[in-house]
Structure 1
Amino acid sequence: MRTNLSDAADGTDVVPGYRPVSVLAVFALLAGILSATAVFSPALLLVPLIASALSVVALKDVSAHGDERAEGGDRKTGRWCALAGLALAVGFGVQSVATNLTQRTVAFRRAEASAAMFLEMVREDRLGEAVKTCLPQVIPPMGIGVGAKATPDVQERQAEASLAGMEVIQDIRKCGRAAATTLRCVGAEVRFPDSWAVVVVIDPCEGRSRPLEIRMLMQSKPVTRGQRIYDNWMVAGIAPNVGQ
């Protein structure tokens, strides 16, 4: 019969009832905590996935079921750490996906609304207001002569004339508000930060026999007013849709 005295004499130093902590369970808990980073950046969504997989492996490591060698002192503890890591990973992962989808939906709607507002200004011949919603690269440059300096009023009139001279703007103005218009945000534009592409389809009218399909690039610019920050949506590009 084996006793604690004989165990000590053999040099095994076995403590009755002691169960070692699973290293995998500890790492699973740490990975679950780090999963919070996925909430701030969708690119880090891989962290909750790794944490979930690590938690499942840790649960298997601490479980005695299905492992004939896990008897007595060979069994490990840390089940609660593994479960906590799994819960954190799943929770933060779901929150990251939900936050990303919500932000994407809001951006889609704001981009479409801003594009619709610009089209309304153009159709109603409010080009002065339309110019103010465009970034500088949208308006074609217009020369004023060598050594000449334009006043703000002259620059504004020149910008309106340049905008009115664009072929795509002329096509939009042909039908006024008579033609039905469909706007659809097709996603983020990877070449430009905080930019979203909106495809606009204007039905035929008396001034145009074919539907007009254009592609607008809407860009979000943060603006501080007082102590609050707002998203100011600007037209960063407008041209006929290549795919039409």
Structure 2
Amino acid sequence: MLELVFVLVIIGILAAVMLPQMQSTKLREAAIQVVSHIRYTQHLAMVDDKFDKNNTWYKNRWQLKFSNTNGTDNKWAYAIFNDYTNQDGNPNENEIAINPLDKGKRLTGGYSGLIEYGDAKASEKLNLGHSYSVNDIDFTNCGIANDDGKKRVFFDHLGRPLTDNPEQLVNPYSHAGKNLLLTTQCQIELCEVSDCLLAVQDEKITIQIEPETGYVHIID
């Protein structure tokens, strides 16, 4: 009986130690996936240069856009696309990148009026709310990165990150006299709680994008 009590105590201690790590593992899996897809977006921008395909080619750059809308089942999700046709900040279905792991799907976790979450063409893992319990995403030092609850990052043909929104560019690198090439370390926080500002250390994880090179990594 005494040995059984000791075993139960040890199991309780191990459970208490491991539980926070298990919770953070889910966030880390989400962050690893996002880092991978930001790098893939950068790759697409470099190999699929939009230069000189039309007079406003610079609005067509590849981007990764986070959103929380009816189309994502009101969960945080993201999509990877270029905006070649209408240049209005929203893609059509053919402009969303094909999922390289499943050619029948597109790289979106849900997009309102286009490929909703639950659609056979959606990639469920890109819906961070459903797949990883991410309840808020916060951008820091990423320029004008928030528009109507949507947050994005895009790249030029050299793989350099830009801020703001490609559709608002008036020339390849500026809007309203402001150079939009990233000049500071852009940080993206993924949080388990509904407000990243209230998240404690175990409830959030930070992804950092370096200026100029676009190198992206997780901050430990």
TM-score, length of structure 1 as denominator length = 0.28
Which structure would you say has the larger RCO, counting Cα contacts within 8 Å and 6 or more residues apart? 2
Greater per-residue helix proportion: 1
